[in-house]
Amino acid sequence: MNQHAVSREVHQRFDADGFVTLRQFVNGAGRRELLANVDRFVRQVVPQLPSEHVFYEDKNDPATLKQIQQMGEHDPSFHDMLTTGDFRKVAEALLQAAVVPVNLQYFSKPPGVGRPTPPHQDGCYFMLDPCEAVTMWLALDDVDAENGCVRYVPGSHKRGMREHFRTQTLGFSQGIVDYPTTEDAQQEIALPARSGDLLVHDALTIHRADGNHSAVRSRRALGLVYYSVRAQKDSAAHAAYQRRLTDEMKASGRI
């Protein structure tokens, strides 16, 4: 990690835009080791995961793996990655608070079959008051417009929570009802990233991604979620929502 990753300038950009990019946050041998570790997790751990923690575009085809939840609960090295060290420090610096590490996820859009990520604000899933949290998105592959880079609406974190509806996208069950407004369309920007680049966004920042239109390039990333200790979670509502979602996904045969 760049020791000066959260300089005053980075902080100001995060506050103004609702996201910031830390280029080559993971690099060299650390990046190679992480990639090997992710491959090991996918090969060895994923086959044993409960169905609500691993999603496929087609559950009968392992090559269509699209999302893994709570990797830290299933593997000590990913637990350490989430709970100790540099990622947590960045979250603390940007939120200016002690943080609670909440989730380490894997996002993949396999070549040819990876579908779009609907426009959303993470806070809609988190159910926090105040809504103080960050999500980090670490590119494992080089990602651009062709294979589905993340797109943000700068400044949208200052305009409150938009109304969301229930989508049919596995792993992203909420989407913004009226996206894009004219303002959204004018302001949205694409964030191409190289393997090892870290994007960090506020829980209210609107973001989305296209599908993977490449027939050959993978598009993998890790997501790390941290809540500020100031944020109170509506745990009952959150658990009820997760239960309903899991029941629906099971009933429809998608997991």
Ligand X SMILES: O=C(O)CCC(=O)C(=O)O
The answer to whether 95 and 226 have CB atoms below 8 angstroms apart is yes
Our finding on whether 209 is near ligand X (CB under 6 A) is yes
Per-position x/- string for 94-113, each x denoting binding to ligand X as judged by CB under 6 A, each - no binding: -------------x------
Distances (CA, A) of 137 to 65, 98, 170, 200, 202: 18, 20, 18, 6, 11
Toward ligand X, which CB reaches closer, 6 or 117?
117
The answer to whether 19 and 200 have CB atoms below 8 angstroms apart is yes
Strands 54-56 and 128-129: unpaired
CB of 218 to ligand X, least distance (A): 13
Our finding on whether 114 is near ligand X (CB under 6 A) is no
The C-alpha atoms of residue 247 and residue 235 are separated, in whole angstroms, by 18
**Which residue type is seen at 86?**
D
Q: In sequence order, which ranges of 145-193 are alpha helices (DSSP H)? A: 182-187
Our finding on whether 224 is near ligand X (CB under 6 A) is no
Toward ligand X, which CB reaches closer, 34 or 182?
34
The C-alpha atoms of residue 142 and residue 165 are separated, in whole angstroms, by 31
Toward ligand X, which CB reaches closer, 147 or 236?
147
- The single residue among 70, 135, 156, 174 that binds ligand X, judged by CB under 6 A, is 135
Our finding on whether 117 is near ligand X (CB under 6 A) is yes
CB within 8 A of 32, min separation 6: which ones?
Answer: none
Site for ligand X in 136-155 (CB under 6 A): 137, 150
Our finding on whether 221 is near ligand X (CB under 6 A) is yes
CB of 84 to ligand X, least distance (A): 21
Q: What angle do CA 120, 135, 162 make, to 5 degrees?
A: 25
CB of 151 to ligand X, least distance (A): 9
Toward ligand X, which CB reaches closer, 5 or 105?
105
Our finding on whether 55 is near ligand X (CB under 6 A) is no
Our finding on whether 22 is near ligand X (CB under 6 A) is no
Toward ligand X, which CB reaches closer, 26 or 182?
26
Our finding on whether 249 is near ligand X (CB under 6 A) is no
- The single residue among 17, 57, 122, 141 that binds ligand X, judged by CB under 6 A, is 122
CB of 29 to ligand X, least distance (A): 25
Cα 183 from chain centre = 24
The C-alpha atoms of residue 30 and residue 124 are separated, in whole angstroms, by 33
Neighbours of 98 (CB within 10 A): 12
Toward ligand X, which CB reaches closer, 44 or 160?
160
The answer to whether 192 and 175 have CB atoms below 8 angstroms apart is no
Binding-site ranges for ligand X (CB under 6 A): 107, 117, 122, 135, 137, 150, 207, 209, 221, 223
